[in-house]
């Protein structure tokens, strides 16, 4: 049973054309994360939501935005994709019980920028 | 800055043999560690975790060892199978409200039939 769902699995966009990636979860977890993972590299955290509180990483470009309209859904918006933004984008969730908690990842969306 | 790194970027193991993947970390404040397996084209999959109050934890065919003295973490996979071929990442974080995971570089494990 899928717990963290990402759509689409593959996304092709043109240079500069805005794109939105979607993540949903059935775990009712408090925290949702977005990571960028380039080929043969470790995932890099872009930002995360703890409930409705947004936490941006200091080195995340302004080109990347996120929305979390409710507990289940979180979106990653790339306002003007560049060639360097081509990557796998991973969504993850965790409960956040006050202790560091396991993060569960979705299958990822592979973004291609033409 | 703080980092989590791996000694070996690639590892090839004969099917049926045991494998050991190593990870070094430098943040002495880290107290929760996770191993993830990532198959090609998929998201990381949780394998096993360990908290800093433990030295060893066992799962099904996997064992994680933690040596806080030398800041070293290892993942042992027993009786490897072709399905174990993947990239393995260690990740660390600090307890009490720090949700940020810091991932290591990753080790590609290839099981040779």
Quick one: what percent of chain B has pLDDT higher than 90? 69
Is pLDDT above 50 for B7?
no
Q: Look at residue B26 in the predicted model and tell me its pLDDT.
A: 81
Residue A40 contacts B where some CB pair is shorter than 8 Å: yes
User: Are B101 and A40 a contacting pair at CB < 8 A?
Assistant: no
- Residues B108 and B13: their CA atoms lie apart, in Å, by 11
B95 → closest Cβ in A40, A90, A100: A100
User: Are B89 and A4 a contacting pair at CB < 8 A?
Assistant: no
Quick one: what percent of chain B has pLDDT higher than 70? 89
- Residues A98 and B7: their CA atoms lie apart, in Å, by 32
- Mean local confidence (pLDDT), B79-92: 95
Which tokens hold the place of B7? Answer: 């000694």
User: Are A110 and B41 a contacting pair at CB < 8 A?
Assistant: yes
Q: Give chain A's count of helices (H) and strands (E).
A: 0, 11
Q: Could you count the other beta carbons within 10 Å of the beta carbon of residue A74?
A: 27
**In Å, how far are A17, A40, B67, B87, B89 from B45, measured between CA atoms?**
31, 16, 23, 10, 10
Q: Give residues with Cβ within 8 angstroms of B82, minimum separation 6.
A: B15, B111, B113
**Structural domains of chain B, count:** 1
List strands edge to edge, sheet with B56-58: B4-5, B19-25, B72-77, B62-67, B56-58
* Better-predicted residue by pLDDT, B48 or B26: B48
Q: Look at residue A101 in the predicted model and tell me its pLDDT.
A: 74
A103 → closest Cβ in B41, B42, B101: B101
Q: Look at residue A97 in the predicted model and tell me its pLDDT.
A: 61
- Kindly report the three-state secondary structure assignment for every residue of B34-99: EEEEECCCCCCEEEEEEECCCCEEECCCEEEEEECCCCEEEEEECCCCHHHCEEEEEEEECCCCCC
Shortest distance, CA A17 to any CA of chain B (angstroms): 24
- Mean local confidence (pLDDT), B41-68: 94
The length of chain B is 113
- Mean local confidence (pLDDT), B2-24: 79
Task: Count Cβ neighbours within 10 Å for each residue of A20-43 and write b for 16 or more, e otherwise.
Answer: ebbbbbeeebbbbbbbbbeeeebb
A104 → closest Cβ in B46, B93, B105: B46
Q: Look at residue A81 in the predicted model and tell me its pLDDT.
A: 97
- Mean local confidence (pLDDT), B31-38: 93
Residues of A in contact with B99 (CB under 8 A): 31, 33, 48, 50, 55, 94, 96, 100-101
Q: Could you count the other beta carbons within 10 Å of the beta carbon of residue B61?
A: 14
Is pLDDT above 50 for B6?
no
**3-state helix vs strand vs coil in chain A, percent to 5:** 5, 50, 45
Confidence at B100, pLDDT banded by 50, 70, 90:
confident
Confidence at B2, pLDDT banded by 50, 70, 90:
very low
Q: What is the CATH number for B49?
A: 2.60.40.10
Each residue's pLDDT tens digit in chain A (114 positions)?
669 999 999 999 999 999 999 999 999 999 999 999 998 889 999 999 999 999 999 999 999 999 999 999 999 999 999 999 999 999 999 987 656 678 899 999 999 999
- The domain of B34 spans 4-112
Shortest distance, CA B105 to any CA of chain A (angstroms): 5
Please report the domains of chain A, with CATH numbers, ordered by start residue: 4-113 (2.60.40.10)
């Amino acid at each position: 049973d899928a717990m963290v769902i990402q759509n689409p699995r593959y996304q092709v966009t043109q240079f500069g054309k805005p794109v939105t990636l979607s993540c949903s979860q059935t775990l009712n977890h408090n925290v949702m994360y977005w990571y960028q993972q380039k080929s043969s590299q470790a995932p890099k955290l872009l930002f995360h939501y703890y409930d409705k509180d947004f936490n941006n990483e200091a080195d995340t470009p302004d080109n990347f935005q996120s929305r979390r309209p409710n507990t289940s859904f979180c979106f990653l918006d790339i306002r003007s994709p560049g060639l360097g933004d081509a990557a796998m984008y991973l969504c993850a969730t965790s409960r956040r019980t006050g202790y560091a908690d396991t993060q569960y990842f979705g299958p990822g969306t592979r973004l291609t920028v033409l | 800055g703080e980092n989590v790194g791996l000694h070996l970027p690639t590892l090839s193991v004969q099917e049926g043999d045991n494998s050991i993947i190593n990870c070094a970390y430098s943040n002495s404040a880290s107290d929760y560690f996770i191993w993830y397996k990532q198959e090609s084209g998929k998201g990381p999959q949780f394998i096993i975790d360990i908290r800093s109050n433990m030295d060893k934890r066992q799962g099904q065919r996997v064992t994680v060892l933690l040596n806080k003295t030398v800041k070293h973490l290892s993942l042992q996979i027993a009786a490897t199978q072709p399905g174990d071929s993947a990239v393995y990442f260690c990740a660390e974080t600090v307890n009490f409200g720090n949700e940020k995971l810091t991932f290591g570089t990753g080790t590609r494990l290839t099981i040779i039939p």
